[in-house]
Amino acid sequence: MKILFVSTEFEEQARGITGIIKSMIKAAKEDGHQVGALIGYPSTDQGDSEILDDKVEHLYLQHYMATGKKNLYPMLSSRKNQLSILASKEFTKIKEMPIQHNLITQKSNIANSLDYVIKIPYTYRFMSNGLGRLVKPSIKKAIKKYGVDLVITGAPMDLPKKDVAPARLVQFVHDTMPIDLLETPAENRTPQKFAKQFYVTTTESDLIFANSEDTAKKVHEVNPKAKVHILYGTASSKADQFHDTSYLSRKNLEKGNYLLFISVLEQRKNLQRLFDAYLKAYEEIKMPLVIVGGKGFGYKAIMSHYKSLPDEIKNNIIFTGFISETDKYALLNNACAFVFPSLYEGLGLPIIEAFGSELPVLTSNRGALPEVGGKAALYVKDPYDVDEIAEGLVKIVKDKSLQSELKKHMPEQIAKFSSEKFNARFAEALNDLK
């Protein structure tokens, strides 16, 4: 089949949607399909030389895939920009470009895994600004003109199957956080926009990919007849590839004597309650809590809460920000336990990385976390209960028999999220379309 991937987040460096896209592209290629992507940056052709135009086009394609769509064209939030683009009819200029892999200089770039791209300038900007009706005719025309058999979206989109016909449509649902958690201020329209995208996905797709049983249940709440295949995600540990432990000495950490959290620092990660639980448990566990990750929604509130803690506790909570793979695995390979009492996760792959370093894990039983943790994790039944989290911290640190029992089940959970399993699930799902 000729498969076209459609996603607003090809370009993002985050592991979530982009990680799934990469896994699906790899699975499709291994299954023998022709794989392409719908992209949306403006024309770069000068028309003076086809050879030079191709080189320039491939350079901009790599920038687009690697560093973000905002770097390559103006925002449509400006009324002037909108009118300028509408007047130019740039978004009607459809072009298919076969990938010349000798012109891809970044071997890790997503572009290097593609056979072709279809370019419709400003596609995703129009769609994300509620102007999808302007570009949908161009999308439909491109799909028919270039013989696309199957369209796969990287996340729910307001893209009914009639707008991609005669191709079939598969949409991927990662989670339903925008409508299940209070994560945005009242003036933010994300819940409203997501609800529309989610409804269209659940009712107007030939098939739906979900990354967990929990997400599949949410789909069936809206449309009990929806055809859903659970792909999960892929996660693998590089624990055995990194042996440099100098980061520990730089942070005054002792092997086996600190707790570790790794994820973006945002409200749903439940960090304020984790801090309070750590305060309650500190006298019994007497070890630092290391927090790894960048700023997310609610970061200011998280830091404000941290600053309100007693000095002894603050001094033992260590924030690292983003760190290298070498330093991350130095922490994973030498921690006492991994703590992740999140309020909601569409999946929770950091837990699999922790299992790869044979770390006992404390997490919550919310969302898809029990699917990831299986019998290899200790669960907090109520992640809003600080006392229960504190009890879990003490238990995960001090109960050696529990640690041994959890360790027995780690290999089976790691295997569940392997590339081989993902590829098999992907192929099975596509066969279901036939």
Which tens digit of pLDDT belongs to each residue from 110-148?
899 999 999 998 888 778 777 788 889 999 999 999 999
pLDDT (0 to 100) of residue 78: 58
pLDDT at residue number 71: 46
Is 37 within 8 Å of 10 (Cβ atoms)?
yes
pLDDT reading at 432 higher than 70: yes
Q: State the pLDDT at residue 75.
A: 46
Half-sphere exposure of 42 (CA within 13 A, CB side): 15
**pLDDT single digits (tens) 298-344:** 899 999 999 999 999 999 999 999 999 999 999 999 999 999 999 99
Contacts of 57 (CB under 8 A, 6+ apart): 44, 45, 97
Beta carbons of 75 and 81 less than 8 angstroms apart: yes
Give Cα 89 to chain centroid, integer Å: 33
Report the alpha-carbon distance of residue 1 to residue 148 in Å, rounded.
Answer: 8
Residues 349, 233 contacting (CB under 8 angstroms): yes
Question: Which H or E run includes 35?
Answer: strand 34-39
Average model confidence (pLDDT) across the chain = 90
Rounded to whole angstroms, how far apart are CA atoms 194 and 203? Answer: 14
Q: What is the crossing angle of helices 386-398 and 271-285, to 10°?
A: 50
- pTM check: above 0.95: no
**pLDDT classification of 68: cutoffs 50, 70, 90:** low
- Dihedral angle over CA of 128, 367, 416, 151, nearest 10: -20
Higher pLDDT, 268 or 125: 268
Would you call 135 exposed, middle or buried from its count of C-beta atoms within 10 A (0-12, 13-18, 19+)? buried
Rounded CA-CA distance 334/426 in Å is 35
Q: How far apart are CA 13 and CA 398, in angstroms?
A: 38
Question: 125 φ, ψ to 5°?
Answer: -65, -45
Q: Please list the residues that pair with 117 across neighbouring strands.
A: 37, 97
Q: Say which residue, 330 or 18, is predicted with more confidence.
A: 330
Q: In 52-71, which positions are buried (b, 16+ CB within 10 angstroms) versus exposed (e)?
A: eeeeebbebbbbbbbeebee
pLDDT tens for 351-400 read: 999 999 999 999 999 989 999 999 999 999 999 999 999 999 999 999 99
> Cα 79 to the chain's mean position, in Å?
31
Query: What is the distance of C-alpha 170 from the center of its chain?
Result: 18
Note the pLDDT tens digit of each residue in 138-149: 999 999 999 999
Residue 41: the pLDDT is: 82
Amino acid at 295: K
Each residue's pLDDT tens digit, 205-260? 999 999 999 999 999 999 999 999 999 988 878 888 888 999 999 999 999 999 99
Q: Spell out the SS3 assignment of 122-190.
A: CHHHHHHCCCHHHHHHHHHHHHHHCCCCEEEECCCCCCCHHHCCCCEEEEEECCCHHHHCCCCCCCCCH
The pLDDT confidence band at residue 15, using thresholds 50, 70 and 90, is low
C-alpha–C-alpha distance, residues 260 and 288, integer Å: 9
Name the strands in the sheet holding 259-262, side by side, starting at the edge strand that comes first in the sequence.
317-321, 289-292, 259-262, 337-340, 361-364, 377-380
Calpha distance 430→427 (Å, rounded)? 5
Angle CA 135–22–103, to nearest 5: 80
pLDDT tens by residue, 74-104: 444 555 666 666 656 676 788 999 999 999 9
> Would you put residue 252 in left (φ > 0), alpha (ψ -120 to 50) or beta?
left
Tokens of 292: 């790894």
| Burial track 405-425 (b if 16+ CB lie within 10 A, e otherwise) | ebeeebeebbeebeeeebbeb
Q: Is the pLDDT of residue 7 over 70?
A: yes
